[in-house]
Homo-oligomer: A and B are copies of this chain.
Amino acid sequence: MTVRHSSPLRDLTPLFEPASVAVVGASDDPVKWGNWLARRALRGASRRAVYLVNRRGGVVMGTHSHRSLAELPETPELVVLAVPPAALESAMDEAIAAGTRAVVVITADGDAGGARDVALATRAREAGVILLGPNCLGIFDAAAELELVPNDLPRGSIGLLSQSGNLALEIGALAEAAELGFSRFVSLGNQADLEMAELIHELSEHDGTELIAIYVEDFRDGRAFARAAEAATRADKPVVLLAVDHSEATARAVRSHTGALASEGAAIDAACHAAGMQRVNAPQELVDLAQGLLGVGPPQGRRVAVLADGGGHAGIAAALSSDAGLELPALSANLRQTLRRRLPPSAAVANPIDLAGGGESDIRNFDRTTRTVLGSGEVDAVLMSGYFGGYTDYAETLGRGEAAVAEALADAVAETGRPLLVQTMHPEAAAAHGLRRRGVPVYRTIERAVGVLARLADRAGRRPRGVPALPPPAEPIAAATYMDARSLLAAGGVPFQPARVVSTAGKAVTVAEEIGYPVVLKALATLHKSDIGGVVLGLRDERTLAAAFAELNERLAPPAIAIERMAPLDEGVELLVGVRWDARFGPVALVGMGGVFTEVLRDVAVSLAPVDEAMARALLLSLRAAPLLMGARGRPPVDVDAAASAVAAVSRVAAVHPEVAEIEVNPLLALPQGAAGLDARILLRGAPPDDQV
């Protein structure tokens, strides 16, 4: 257990812009953290008092040090603790006693969330002190010249929140290579007190931060995290999230299809959709995307023109763009004619555009062509690929400079409002620097440039789905048999076929006459009924019904048998609908096409629950196999509204029952008119992961 605080909106000024700082554990030993931190803390000495505290006192890093916080001439607003683990609690006490307002704990105190974490956080809360860490790398604020970190970091407009120190350093190195840097950096460590959500809120209101980058391992309250990120994205501060799916198999037993498919990784994806976060899988991808988001932002659509001086670069860029889902429209005859005027006869101008030596022979063809194409409105973006930046010697001999071309390219972007992304084999050239300085993203490899452009195009016109509010819990359910699940879901608005539990063949026949043939028999209390022959379909008369009842009883000896009116299977499409309560993100809804589509092809869509009808519809239509719903191959289209209504109903029921681990309607039969749940399962939290429910 970790201690949670009630208000997420404390004043964090003492942390980012303290009037004074003390580094406890400051040292002259160049292989100690206390040395690395103190050296950089002193860089802010013109802005604030910086006190070095060392048990032995004396001169440290050329300045007078103090033996304890108590000896300081004033109360340091921020205290950094880089002390041995055994001395941590006493150092914390000393800091609190000195009246400090914020403490950054570098020292590791054992397991995250352990007893020492809890005690430390409790002590800080009681004293009204902000606590960052323990087990963190420190804190950095470029504008405040606050460098309480062990390494030099580049300055810029990215606010980085990271749970890993080395990853933060890697992101810093990659950002620097892209001529980007950090407005603020916070290493969160164990999050004993300060958590991600509070820091996201803080950065979303911080003027110097234009983009928030996050590496997180422990989401804590995932909904609070997602709400904070949603607020940031709505305030036009893009949030880029680097997060890893933890291995599912080791984490928990899988109990239903929903349980397997609405995985922890899927829950993170659902949170990203809700909050408008951009999820990435590696540091380079994070920095590449940040370059695109900060520089040119999303294009209006997916139409792109590829431009290169040489068919090889043009062809590869075009093929990768097309594979990434971008569109390469053929340019109009008029536009082609305009482009041709300055280019060699062998140039290709339909799209991709190959200058065919026209760039080498006249370097201005790069910006002239780009400006004409961006200005035409026939595409939403231009992707330039190849050798640009490497013509310098040659181009200058001919009296024209690539630097001027870079400026003209950036001008064309500014004037048209349409993005240009550049891949060049000369990313260190002055022209590449000139482009980046003006916000035009430059990448060394074409796959990275294409990846970013495709991601930016995905964002075109997108708003966050919104993090749904959780309704207050309903009365918890205690029993979760098939009939219980049906009743609960039916009461919530999920349509089912008429059904009854029967104990004898005679009773079955009586019920069948009531509900109408054909009917289905189901042996209850087994989990994957259709896999063991526990369901008998298509019973059309009394004789076959009675025989099937007897056979089922003999073969499986089930505790109970249900009889149901059979739905017209041939007329519909089978869907899988389920909700899993995730430990961090709460209820996560999942829809899929059922059967082999979900199990083999993993064609599913997820969202934080509850979802409304419109969202449910959007999820269904986002499936790769969605054409099946719309009437592929001569079949009638199904009633997507009815299916969506059932999905929304399942999600609402799940959302008010936190005692439910997993809930599933599989299949939900989507019909040309209406929908029908053909099976229903509920797994209560803590129930055994097997067939014996």
Q: Does A173 contact B (CB under 8 A)?
A: yes
Q: Tell yes or no: A478 within 8 A of B by CB.
A: no
| Residue among B312, B532, B595 making CB contact with A164, cutoff 8 Å | B312
Contact (Cβ within 8 A) A281 B634: no
Among B281, B531, B634, point to the contact of A531 (Cβ < 8 A).
B634
Q: Which residues of B are found within 8 Å of A31, using beta-carbon distances?
A: 394, 397-398
Task: Tell me whether A284 and B447 are in contact in the complex, defined as CB-CB below 8 angstroms, given that A398-B31, A624-B600, A632-B599 are known contacts.
Answer: yes
Separation of A318 and B244 alpha carbons in the complex (Å):
9
Select from chain B the residue with minimum beta-carbon distance to A446: B282
**Are B397 and A281 neighbours in the complex by a CB distance under 8 Å?**
no
A601:B601 contact, CB within 8 angstroms: yes
A283 close to chain B: CB less than 8 A: yes
Known A217-B315, A282-B447, A445-B282: A595·B633 in contact at CB below 8 Å? yes
Bound complex: CA A258 to CA B52 (Å): 75
Interface residues of A in 367-393 (CB under 8 A from B): 386-387
> Do the beta carbons of B316 and A242 come within 8 Å of each other?
yes
Check A311–B627 contact: CB distance below 8 A.
no
> What residues of chain B lie closer than 8 Å to A386, measured between beta carbons?
166, 170
**Given A319-B244, A319-B281, CB of A164 within 8 Å of CB of B310:** yes
Q: Which residues of B contact A444 (CB under 8 A)?
A: 284
Residues of B within 8 A of A627 (CB): 596, 599-600
- Does A322 belong to the interface (CB within 8 Å)? yes
Asked if B173 contacts A316 (CB within 8 A), the reply is no
Question: Interface size of A by Cβ–Cβ distance < 8 Å?
Answer: 70
Cα–Cα distance between A514 and B165 once the two chains are bound (Å): 80
Q: Given known contacts A173-B425, A530-B633, A634-B530, is B282 in contact with A313 (CB within 8 Å)?
A: no
- A625 at the B interface (CB under 8 A): yes
Q: How far is the CA of A163 from the CA of B308 in the complex (A)?
A: 16
Query: In the complex where A316-B242, A316-B281 touch, is A165 in contact with B600 (Cβ < 8 A)?
Result: no
* B601 & A624 in contact (Cβ 8 Å cutoff): yes
Query: Are the C-beta atoms of A632 and B596 separated by less than 8 Å?
Result: yes
Kindly identify, within residues 578 to 601 of chain A, every residue whose CB is under 8 Å from any CB belonging to chain B: 595-596, 599-601
Q: Which residues of B contact A128 (CB under 8 A)?
A: none
Known: A281-B316, A284-B445, A320-B281. A166 touches B387 (CB 8 A): yes
Any B CB within 8 A of the CB of A46: no
Query: Are A312 and B167 neighbours in the complex by a CB distance under 8 Å?
Result: yes
A285 at the interface (CB under 8 A from B): yes
Q: How far is the CA of A444 from the CA of B322 in the complex (A)?
A: 27
Distance of A425 Cα from B174 Cα, bound (Å): 9
Q: Does A247 contact B (CB under 8 A)?
A: yes
A486–B169 Cα distance when bound, in Å, is 66
> CB < 8 Å: which of B111, B167, B311, B387 contacts A169?
B387
Residues from chain B with Cβ under 8 Å of A312 in the complex: 162-167, 215, 217
Q: Is A71 an interface residue (CB 8 A)?
A: no
Contact flags A351-375 to B (C-beta < 8 A → 1, else 0): 0000000000000000000000000
A193 to chain B, nearest CB (A): 21
Residues of B within 8 A of A319 (CB): 244-245, 281
Flag if A425 contacts B170 (CB, 8 Å): yes
Q: Is A533 an interface residue (CB 8 A)?
A: yes
B634 with A533: CB separation less than 8 A: yes
A447–B285 CB distance below 8 A:
yes
Does A118 make an interface contact (CB < 8 A)?
Answer: no
Also in contact, A322 and B625, with CB within 8 A (given A284-B447, A398-B31, A633-B530): no
When distances are taken between beta carbons in the complex, the residues of chain B under 8 Å from A309 are 166
Contacts of A98 in B (CB 8 A): none
Taking a contact as CB atoms closer than 8 A, the residue among B245, B310, B318, B600 that contacts A166 in the complex is B310
A476 at the interface (CB under 8 A from B): no
Interface residues of A in 155-195 (CB under 8 A from B): 162-167, 169-170, 173-174
8 A Cβ contacts from A213-263 to B: 215, 217, 242, 244-245, 247, 250
Residue of B nearest to A397 (CB): B31
A247–B387 Cα distance when bound, in Å, is 24
Q: Is A501 an interface residue (CB 8 A)?
A: no
Cβ of A282: which chain B residues have Cβ within 8 Å of it? 316, 320, 445-447
Q: A119 interface residue, CB < 8 Å from B?
A: no
Instruction: Report the bound CA distance from A469 to B167 in whole Å.
Output: 53
Name the B residues within 8 Å of A318 (CB-CB): 244, 247
Q: How far is the CB of A445 from chain B (nearest CB, A)?
A: 4
Measured CA separation A398–B30 after assembly (Å): 11
The residue on B at minimum CB distance from A323 is B281
Residues in B with CB closer than 8 Å to A163 are 312
Q: What residues of B have a CB within 8 angstroms of the CB of A603 in the complex?
A: 601
A414-458 CB mask vs B (1 if < 8 Å, else 0) is 000000000001000000000000000000111100000000000
Cβ of A130 to closest chain B Cβ, rounded Å = 24
Residue A656 CB within 8 A of the other chain: no
* A373 to B57 CA separation, bound complex (whole angstroms): 46
User: CB-CB < 8 A to A313: which residues of B?
Assistant: 164, 166-167, 170
CB distance from A252 to the nearest CB of B (A): 16
Q: How far is the CB of A236 from chain B (nearest CB, A)?
A: 28
Chain B contacts of A600 at CB under 8 A? 624-625, 627-628, 632
Establish whether residues A316 and B167, one from each chain, have CB atoms under 8 Å apart when the complex forms.
yes
| 19 residue pairs A–B, Cβ–Cβ below 8 Å | A30-B397, A164-B310, A164-B312, A164-B313, A166-B309, A166-B310, A166-B386, A166-B387, A169-B387, A244-B319, A247-B322, A282-B316, A282-B446, A284-B446, A285-B447, A595-B633, A596-B627, A600-B628, A601-B601
Question: Which residues of A pack against B, CB within 8 Å?
Answer: 30-31, 108, 110-111, 162-167, 169-170, 173-174, 215, 217, 242, 244-245, 247, 250, 281-285, 308-313, 315-316, 318-320, 322-323, 328, 330, 346, 386-387, 394, 397-398, 425, 444-447, 530-533, 595-596, 599-601, 603, 624-625, 627-628, 632-634
Given contacts A166-B310, A167-B310, A217-B311, 9 further A-B contacts (CB under 8 A): A163-B312, A164-B313, A217-B312, A244-B319, A284-B447, A595-B633, A596-B632, A600-B628, A601-B624
